[in-house]
Amino acid sequence: MAGFRAKQSLRVWLKMLRTTTIIEKRVRAYLQAEFGSTLPRFDVLSALYRESTPITMSQLTDRLLVSNGNLTGLVNRLVDDGLISRESDPEDRRAQRVVLIDRGREAFCEMAERHEALVNAQFAAMSDEDMATLLRLATRLDSALRDIPTPKEVQ
């Protein structure tokens, strides 16, 4: 049955990849059309929103969901737009810390509300039971993935 299981994993994976890609594309298109914002920008604001105190760029990187090639450039633009502020880290003068300021908090809340509604609309056909099951299984998968070595360690 090893062959069946491997094929089943592939089927599950391709469906997960397909559905996630579709929803992600829609979220990106929506953020762009309605707020002129990219998904990485929303992701940075979201990460800072969850913090009550300034965090370093390295801590910010760890908290991001979507990978970002040019985080410094993105942060520069958010500072220029008056949504976040940047200061030297008192414990390490060479390091910088960033924090969401009031205008950024307001801008994020407005986007987050619409983001939540759009995401919710994508799952409209799923029953409450389906959603609870999906959450349980995805949470189990997420925990399990932490224990699996990454490709470089496998070899």
Interface with a second copy, residue 131, by CB under 8 A: yes
Q: Which stretch binds a second copy (CB under 8 A): 2-10, 69-77, 78-86, 89-97?
A: 2-10
Q: Which residue among 80, 93, 94, 154 contacts a second copy (CB under 8 A)?
A: 154
Task: Give the residue among 28, 8, 10, 35 at the shortest CA–CA distance from 109.
Answer: 35
Tokens of 100: 């969401």
- Angstrom distance (rounded) from CA 146 to CA 151: 13
Task: Give the residue among 51, 41, 39, 37 at the shortest CA–CA distance from 101.
Answer: 51
Fill in the per-residue mask, 38 to 77: x = in contact with a second copy (CB under 8 A), - = not in contact. ---------------------------xxx----------
Task: Give the residue among 114, 52, 38 at the shortest CA–CA distance from 81.
Answer: 38
Q: Which residue among 80, 91, 93, 150 contacts a second copy (CB under 8 A)?
A: 150
Helix (H), strand (E) at residue 56 = strand 55-56
Interaction site with a second copy (CB under 8 A): 5-24, 26, 29-30, 33-34, 65-67, 116-126, 128, 130-135, 137-145, 147-148, 150-152, 154-155
